[in-house]
Amino acid sequence: MNRNPNPRALRRLAAALALAAAAAALPGCAPLVVGGAVVGGALVAVDRRTSGAQLEDQAIELKGELRMREVLAGRGHVNVTSYNRLVLITGEVPTEADKATVERTVSGLDNVRSIVNELAVMGNSSVTSRSSDAIVSARAKAAFIDAKDLQASALKVVTERGVAHLMGRVTEKEAARAAEVVRGLPGVLKVVRVFEIITEAELARLQSGVTSRP
């Protein structure tokens, strides 16, 4: 059996790792986005959200980051990730009270429709841990690109301490497949599904260009 690496796969992984390195250099642990385009200075991902929902998600994340600085005053390490206005909160805070405060604050942001609070009550993760998480996310996105039965641009990965959180608007079949792909990757300790599940009929409408705001 030929075990030589696929050159195209290696190029995709290298590109994903480069994006991960850039993300790791920014404050916090930014989610990795692949398959987007720069429009007017902003990254607009080619995915299954409306353009309005994408802008709302971006606003939620930016406002969330600012509010975390205010309410935590330097305590903890918190990431706010929004996909179609479903918000995932990850990272670490020192107390249960801080965890509750973060969730309450995020729930008060404009356009948030639901929250998944995955914050851990513990000390902040190390720089090494966050770098490893960025590599895991890069591997996951590269694996999605290679998978013929998945639309990589419809999926988002947020990794914290080896736990890969998967987001996106997907069918149940796609959700199971994406989780299967990520579960077997090096460095993944656990997979958490934070998907918005749609029906096959809804997917067909999206793919035909007929979209509706949920």
- CA distances in angstroms from 37 to 122, 187, 208, listed in the order given: 37, 29, 21
13 vs 115, more confident: 115
Contact (Cβ atoms closer than 8 angstroms) between residue 166 and residue 119: no
| Helix axis angle, 127-146 to 7-24, nearest 10° | 140
**Cα–Cα dist 156/38, whole Å:** 17
**Which pLDDT tens digit goes with each residue over 122-172?**
999 999 999 999 999 999 999 999 999 999 999 999 999 999 999 999 999
Mean pLDDT of 38-61: 76
Highest CATH level, class, for 37-121: alpha beta
- Domain 14-18+125-207, what fold? GMP Synthetase; Chain A, domain 3 (3.30.300)
Contact (Cβ atoms closer than 8 angstroms) between residue 186 and residue 112: no
The answer on pLDDT for 20 being more than 70 is: no
Sorted by where each begins, the domain ranges of the chain are 14-18+125-207, 37-121
Query: Would you say the CATH fold of 37-121 matches that of 14-18+125-207?
Result: no
Neighbours of 103 (CB within 10 A): 16
Confidence at residue 74, expressed as pLDDT on a 0 to 100 scale: 87
The answer on pLDDT for 213 being more than 70 is: no
**Which pLDDT tens digit goes with each residue over 53-99?**
999 999 999 999 999 999 999 899 999 999 999 999 999 999 999 99
76 vs 21, more confident: 76
The pLDDT mean for the chain works out to: 84
Confidence at residue 46, expressed as pLDDT on a 0 to 100 scale: 64
Structure pTM? 0.77
